[in-house]
Amino acid sequence: MTRLVPASMRGYRRAWLGRDVIAGVALSAVAIPEVMGYTSIAGMPIVTGLYTLILPVVAFALLGSSKLLVVGADSATAAILYAGLLELGIAGVTPGSPQWVGLASLTALVSGAILAAARLLRLGFLADFLSAAVLIGFLTGVGVQVATAQIPELLGIPEGRGNWFQQQWSWLTRLDQISWRTAAYGAATIVVIVAFKRFLPRFPGTLVAVVALISVSAATGASHHGVAVVGAVEGGFPPLGLPSGLTPGDVSRVFSVALSCFVLILAQSAATAHAFATKHGDRVDINRDLVGLSAANIAAGFSGTFVVNGSPTKTEILDQQRGRTQVANLTMALISLLVVLGLTSLVADMPLAVLAGIVFLVGLDLVDVRGLRRIYARRRNEFVVAVVTAFAVFGIGVEQGVLLALALSLFEVVRREYRPKDFVVGVTEKGEPTYRAAEPGIESAPGLIVFRFNAELFYANASRFADEVRALVDDAPDPVRWLVLDAAGIADVDYSAGLRLHSLLDFLAARHVTFVLARPDSALVDTLKVYELWQRIPPEYVFGNLIDAIRAYLAGGSPGATDERPPG
């Protein structure tokens, strides 16, 4: 029977029900107007934002593993979707059109299929390949793009065309066309939400702003005074079935957009789930969450809406309201369903500037200034990576930013392996090891060099490794008798590096330098045997620790203790 209970709700206690329901109601008050705002980012009809909080939420609650992760429309994936579909350049397909909605739903289906494939291949670990610096930079870039895209709507100015810089220049040169009535609604939205966050953080300021400003708009007839409003919103149960008006060729068209969404869904959802699970001492199964995220996106595709993602902001709200499980999210899904079934008429008088104000603040929240400052203070090179990623996202494009983020993350991994911190190891009078940066002209003791290389040996860094050893031997103050390789940081050697090691042993032999191996593990020993390198190292010159190797040299270079030799 336990297997029939969703993983996210196993061990549920009846005492949690009241708190979960209250938390779900509070979450709805923020999430419903927020996802309506996200539809403007994605170029989708407003009601589709509400649809993301119904079937996709239920699908994740039943099949995911995370107890708190809130799934729904997300600003970052909405921005990727909009930019990607716009770049397809299909004639007649414009934001908000039936064809656009169909392609957006198809993108959700393809994203769900990619997530399912990732689960089958157990690719949850890929989430670890986007570094924190790259993710901060990416979300900051999305935040800048999302926030600045709302400025024309906030001011009642026509939206500009072209790249990000051209769009900003467009509204800057049209400030004389500001609609002050529209701007007043946008400013009021921002002030109310910020004031509630500052002084009454437990109250849903977003909902208060929406309700109050819809009431003012309806009472004053804002639409008759030049203020653009939402207008009639078609409600009803989400439409079920495959997106209409599409062809099999459209799958290949949206595949790259779906792949970009997949990368962000995996990275953002995994990071959010891990953060909140750790906070509460829970465990999270990312591969199981992939099942839930896949089902959620497939449900989105079959219910006429767009890509969904794990939301850090909504998950934080749920945590603040002391929600315990996905029961809170199911409560939100039920409330969202009631809204689309009978309450959509209430938003007809909502000024578009109100939605723009909500999204504008969401965009600003994504700009992680504090995170960028921390990176700058601790790792300048990673700060540069974060800034480059951010500029690429809003300056070039969100989809290109995703690809650059992946490339920079992988480049950072290779860079660290290519240029690790290398040391020449010495020993103090008390027998404690000392570590100095490996530079030509230094030695561990007269005639002795103990070299530590803190990375795997592979084709990209093998030449550098060999060149460093040669330089240390050639420029040593005294003729080198022993070269001790501290192998504690080397767990593997690829074929190219194996060839380089053979050449290095030939070089050392020609210089009458004894090659000594210290602290190799069994995996490294097995690899060295395959490359016939192990056979070139006499057993008496293999040590289980550095101190014994150094003592053996200082004792006159006599053979070491063979009982310390690793098995093999």
11 secondary structure, DSSP code: T
Check pLDDT > 70 for residue 431: no
Q: pLDDT per residue over 203-255, tens digit each?
A: 878 888 989 999 999 999 998 888 989 888 888 899 999 988 888 889 999 99
Specify the pLDDT at position 305. 96
Residue 509 and residue 476: Cα distance in Å, rounded? 16
Residue 327 and residue 17: Cα distance in Å, rounded? 8
The structure tokens listed for 513 are 């330098």
Check pLDDT > 80 for residue 108: yes
Specify the pLDDT at position 1. 46
Check pLDDT > 90 for residue 48: yes
CA dihedral 470, 475, 476, 479 (to 10 degrees): 80
Instruction: Select from 87, 85, 72 the least CA-distant residue to 37.
Output: 72
Residue 491 in contact with residue 526, Cβ under 8 Å? no
Band the pLDDT of 567: cuts 50, 70, 90. very low
Residue 472 and residue 311: Cα distance in Å, rounded? 52
Checking 501-509 for CB contacts under 8 A at 24+ apart, the result is 501/457, 501/462, 501/466, 501/531, 501/533, 502/531, 502/533, 502/536, 503/466, 504/466, 504/469, 504/470, 505/533, 505/536, 507/466, 507/470, 507/473, 508/469, 508/473, 508/483
Check pLDDT > 90 for residue 30: no
Residue 414 and residue 435: Cα distance in Å, rounded? 24
Specify the pLDDT at position 109. 97
The residue-averaged pLDDT of 110-123 equals 92
Q: In angstroms, what CA-CA distances link 290 with 122, 298, 496?
A: 9, 12, 37
Residue 568 and residue 565: Cα distance in Å, rounded? 9
Note the pTM of the prediction, 2 decimals.
Answer: 0.73
Residue 457 and residue 489: Cα distance in Å, rounded? 10
Q: What angle do CA 556, 561, 567 make, to 5 degrees?
A: 145
Specify the pLDDT at position 149. 86
Check pLDDT > 80 for residue 131: no
The residue-averaged pLDDT of 178-193 equals 94
Check pLDDT > 60 for residue 562: no
Hey, what amino acid is at 316?
Answer: E
Band the pLDDT of 3: cuts 50, 70, 90. low
Specify the pLDDT at position 435. 87
Sequence-distant (6+) residues with CB within 8 A of 117 are none
Specify the pLDDT at position 393. 82
Region of 268 (left: φ > 0; alpha: ψ -120 to 50; beta: rest) is alpha
Least confident of 112-121, 141-150, 277-286, 532-541: 277-286
Cα 247 off chain centre by: 32
Domains in the chain: ranges and CATH: 15-414 (no CATH), 420-564 (3.30.750.24)
Query: If you average pLDDT over every residue of the chain, what do you get?
Result: 87
The residue-averaged pLDDT of 487-507 equals 91
Specify the pLDDT at position 204. 79
Residue 459 in contact with residue 494, Cβ under 8 Å? yes
Residue 59 and residue 478: Cα distance in Å, rounded? 70
Specify the pLDDT at position 2. 53
Residue 546 in contact with residue 520, Cβ under 8 Å? no
Check pLDDT > 70 for residue 327: yes
Specify the pLDDT at position 480. 93
Check pLDDT > 90 for residue 41: no
The residue-averaged pLDDT of 6-12 equals 70
Coil/strand/helix, residue 482? strand
Q: pLDDT per residue over 250-281, tens digit each?
A: 999 999 999 989 988 988 888 778 767 766 77
Q: pLDDT per residue over 334-387, tens digit each?
A: 999 999 998 888 888 989 899 889 888 878 887 889 989 999 999 888 898 889
Sequence-distant (6+) residues with CB within 8 A of 240 are 302, 303
Three-state secondary structure readout of 352-380: HHHHHHHHHHHHHHHCCHHHHHHHHHHCH
Least confident of 66-75, 175-184, 431-440, 442-451: 431-440
The residue-averaged pLDDT of 470-474 equals 94
**pLDDT more than 90, % of the chain:** 44
Choice between 97 and 125, residue whose per-residue pLDDT is larger: 97
Residue 85 in contact with residue 68, Cβ under 8 Å? no
Q: pLDDT per residue over 404-421, tens digit each?
A: 777 877 787 788 788 888
The structure tokens listed for 133 are 């610096």
Least confident of 4-13, 136-145, 261-270, 510-519: 4-13
Check pLDDT > 60 for residue 561: no
Q: pLDDT per residue over 194-211, tens digit each?
A: 999 889 887 878 888 989
- Return the bridge partners of 542, or none: 517
Q: In angstroms, what CA-CA distances link 284 with 45, 68, 104, 145, 542?
A: 34, 10, 30, 32, 43
What is the separation, in whole angstroms, between the first and last Cα of the chain? Answer: 49
Which residue has tokens 């066309």?
A: 177
Instruction: Select from 129, 72, 82, 77 the least CA-distant residue to 408.
Output: 129
Q: How many alpha carbons lie under 13 Å from residue 463 in its C-beta half-sphere? A: 2
Band the pLDDT of 483: cuts 50, 70, 90. very high
Helix (H), strand (E) at residue 72: strand 70-72
